[in-house]
Structure 1
Amino acid sequence: MPQPSLARRLGLRDAVVIGLAAMIGAGVFAAFAPAAAAAGEGLLIGLAIAAIVAFANASSTAQLAARYPESGGAYRYGRERLGAWPGFLAGWGFVVGKTASCAAMAMTFAAYLVPTAWQRPVAAAAVIVLAAVNLRGITRTARAASIIVAAVISVLLLVIAAGAGPLLQRGIPLDGLLDAGWPGILQSAGLLFFAFAGYARIATLGEEVRDPARTIPRAIPVALGIAVALYALIGSVLLATLGADALATSTAPLVDLVDDVGWTWAAPIVRVGAAAAALGALLALIAGIGRTALAMARDDELPRPLASVHSRYRVPHVAEIVVAVAVVALVLTVDLRQAIGFSSFGVLGYYLVANLAAITQPANERRVPRALSVLGAIGCIVLVVTLPPGAIAAGVAVFVVGAAWRLVTQAIRRRRSRRR
């Protein structure tokens, strides 16, 4: 019996909001400290490089989404344009890496709100609640994301207002812009890229967007543009207020900023904003992983039951439940906040496949110059090289496990077909 398809219920505003929820996550509250440690004042150059690479990737993704408005994002594009193996590796890297990211986001959310002893159960409860929201339909997901995004942007604007005085008085310190050298600047670009590289979440929901050929190519650049503008403003006020050295050693830079200017009353608000941002990223991640797993299961790249779609709510309910169970298990057993380097490796591999797929599209499907997709592919490779060796090793290991899984399952399938 054929499964019901997902329902096209998302408009332009919904798609933009879900993209923003994925991009303006906990990273904006934490990524600037390691970026400053890597590049000092040169983190602003790193941010510009990250924005250029993100724009190239987003353009390729939007072009592909207009042609293939289905669930799965780069998994689907890679499979259609490059073949089964590139598509599988993109999807595998996304599903495995982002499941770990979900656990990290859940733990980050809890860390901002409750004492250490309560963090694991609170994080697990957050995953269960958000999974329940997603299971009620994509419109519920979009509604919850709207509330979270509005709250987070309000907090970020509060921080920008707090830092506006020092920024206007002192300006952005640029004396040591190149002191860290290009290796440090590129490493900061990688850190900042991962912090707002959630625009693909819009594409993974392509099967649920109304008029996708028009809506997705509009939603992705709008969401990315808002996120980059916010990151640029936050980075500027942090450097003007704290300076690169203090920023590099800060564990909560935005809280330190409001404390430094005397707005101590705002510190609890910023902490709640960081928790909300982690929650928004988690909500969008669970939805995106579920849709990618659905697409892979439809092609028998993952267990077939993951392709089930709920007859009433029209969501991949089995996939989302499995994802939620896996994330809760990780939350309760390990702490992945400092051990998800392979997620960074995986997301760059994911976008590399998307750019390579876009390069192969014929002229009548192109919305952006092919050179922009080439730039995106090169940018992904360059940023991979800047990752710490441990992150690269972990990422390679994840892809090796995925390749072994596919080879084994294909061999079993061939053996069964011969027996018939």
Structure 2
Amino acid sequence: MNQMTAVSDTGQSSDPVRLVRDMALAARNAVQALGLASAEIKNAAIRAAAARLRAGEAEILAANAKDMEAGRAKGLTNAMLDRLALTPARIEGIAKGLEAVADLADPIGRVQSSWTRPNGLVIERVSVPLGVIGVIYESRPNVTADAGALTLKAGNAVILRGGSESIHSSKAIHACLVEGLRAAGLPEAAIQLVPTTDRAAVGAMLTAVNLIDIIVPRGGKSLVARVQEEARVPVFAHLEGICHTYLDKAADLNMAREIVLNAKLRRTGICGATETLLIDRAGADRLVKPVIEALLAAGCEIRAEAELRGLDARIKPASEEDWVTEYLDAILSVKLVDGVEGAIAHVNRYGSHHTDSIITGDADAAAKFLREVDSAIVVHNASTQFADGGEFGFGAEIGISTGRIHARGPVGVEQLTTYKYVVRGEGQTRPA
């Protein structure tokens, strides 16, 4: 890094384009070195980073305190501050996440399928790394660790560009990852953090054709919109999390109440939080009042159409805009629908294809919802907040892909690989 473009004490680079280019070239060389590294060496680097995270807890919390103070001064929302905040428990969770990634089977070199042709050729489809991955994220310092570990495990190099809100926290966590690489004898360029807060560096990453192989955005609507507009590098689409929970007429009331409270309020600032509650009109007499009252008692603002507002004076009017709003706060829009067909129609029209859940004891209704809702993750009788790579057994995630190409849902180590065909013969030639 000492040969790269200089970065000032204010975090600004004199030439962000050149900076990103230098980092990408170093990352490309690191990918070649990682291709020779055994699974044991990669795992050793990840475990050493986890140990350093625990040992460096005080330094990380001090760095995070700077970001939190600056975030409050800038007027960040409560949701943004929640995403930004680190605690001893969260740091321990990050470290455990790294160790969970190390425990996963190595995805590289896995023979996905194999067959023999009539002419005797043996063809194998074998998993290989994607290459150099660029991750652009906002106020989530944990992404620094998750993305670093997952990409390393899959044999990729990564260039991380965190938001200015989390710059101190991300640098502190990145330092732990670098120490893990160093301890295992792997190139430090395998996990790089863009040291500048200059937004021009984002543009440089998005247009780094033949240098960066894929971009992963993790952030709000404005970031994702910019990535989609400017990127000349392939992108793992990650749209906002307009997630739904649908209470079918056959839902168990106690289950419905507990799941809705969790899906909305466990952590309101994550992309898997439910933003719209749909309730079957045929079950409204039994379901609406106890569920809405529980939400209001828990401090959740409710926005609903006129037919529900007579239930409680605290319920506010819902507009068309509410059905397409990711609140990331203790706010929930509520609507009555006509059965599972009405729920499916609403979700497919207004949702972001992220995560949607049905609560019902009717197996046929559940099967229809799971089959016909066009989302990356569909859930039956559980909270939408399980939309997380760690909860899926992936150790961690680099994001939730809402697109349809290559990866969909939580992006873990397997989704960070591609494949090549290995063909073995015994002198065969193709006839004219």
User: Shorter-chain TM-score: what band?
Assistant: under 0.3
Q: Which structure dedicates a bigger proportion of its chain to helix?
A: 1
TM-score, scaled to structure 1: 0.27
TM-score, scaled to structure 2: 0.26
Q: Which structure dedicates a bigger proportion of its chain to strand?
A: 2
